[in-house]
Amino acid sequence: MSTPVHEVVRDHYARIALSVVQDPSCGGNGDCCGPTNYSNEELASLPEAARLASLGCGNPIAVAELRDGETVLDLGSGGGIDVLLSAQRVGPTGRAFGLDMTDEMLALARRNAQAAGATNVEFLKGHIEAIPLPAASVDVVISNCVINLAADKPAVFREIARVLRPGGRLGVSDIVADDVLTPAERVERGSYVGCIAGALSYAEYEAGLHAAGLEDVSITPTHQETPGMTSAIIRARKPR
């Protein structure tokens, strides 16, 4: 189901993963989508390569309210930073999955998991529009500035609803556009791989999650990325 959007995004993030491996001093932080919001304690618990490959616009772990024994899925897991932090939160009786379509990022994430000694993690290859997990198998879905990169966002929302258990929850960081901005105006403000051109508006995001069958949708802006485009925390829940 690969599309031209998938190929552009895959190529971009493959280069970032390789740059981290080949020249760790360059890192990738800040490429997409802005400042990260991890504590020094969280960062100190991770391998350096996981920190360098962090490309998100927030810290979904801080809003996901993870609990011991839960199963967590990170959409677009990249170098694995949020999967490794989730694994710490859910403990040895829980499990953390990471899903990514880029072989180079998956290789980096698996190497980081081994370096961290994480035994309750698993990295899967695939598209977030077609999650390779059974229905009702996940307690929490997280993501860090990735859904805006998806080629088919309604499919992503349907898949999130499918894999969540009844009462399961969504807690993601993403870029959201002001409702007054047209798609063309979003393109003017930044590239697709820069997490700007593909961003949904507040109304589109909320409507998409509701259409997929999720409830208790909230979108809380955190900081501006560029005029009319904001990093935000998005929460929702699957009905019981």
C-alpha to C-alpha distance for 88 and 218, rounded to whole angstroms: 26
C-alpha to C-alpha distance for 220 and 235, rounded to whole angstroms: 9
- pLDDT tens-digit profile of 77-87? 988 989 999 99
Helix (H, G, I), strand (E, B) or coil at 126: coil
Confidence of residue 23 (pLDDT cuts 50, 70, 90): low
Pairing verdict, β 200-201 and 215-226: unpaired
H helices present in the chain, as ranges: 4-22, 40-44, 48-52, 61-64, 81-90, 103-116, 153-163, 183-189, 202-211
95 or 81: whose pLDDT is higher? 95
**pLDDT given at position 76:** 92
Percent residues over pLDDT 70 in the chain: 79
Confidence of residue 64 (pLDDT cuts 50, 70, 90): confident
Domains within the chain, CATH numbers bracketed? 4-237 (3.40.50.150)
C-alpha to C-alpha distance for 49 and 20, rounded to whole angstroms: 7
Looking at the predicted structure, is the pLDDT value of residue 98 above 60? yes
Q: Phi/psi of residue 51, each to 5°?
A: -65, -45
Confirm whether pTM is higher than 0.75.
yes
Strand partners, 221: 232
Q: In terms of C-beta density within 10 A (0-12 exposed, 13-18 middle, 19 or more buried), how is residue 154 classed? A: middle
- pLDDT tens-digit profile of 183-229? 888 888 876 666 777 899 999 999 999 999 999 999 999 988 889 99
Looking at the predicted structure, is the pLDDT value of residue 56 above 60? yes
Q: End-to-end distance of the chain based on CA atoms, in angstroms?
A: 31
pLDDT average, residue stretch 72-97: 94
Which of 12-21, 42-51, 59-68, 97-106 is most confident?
97-106
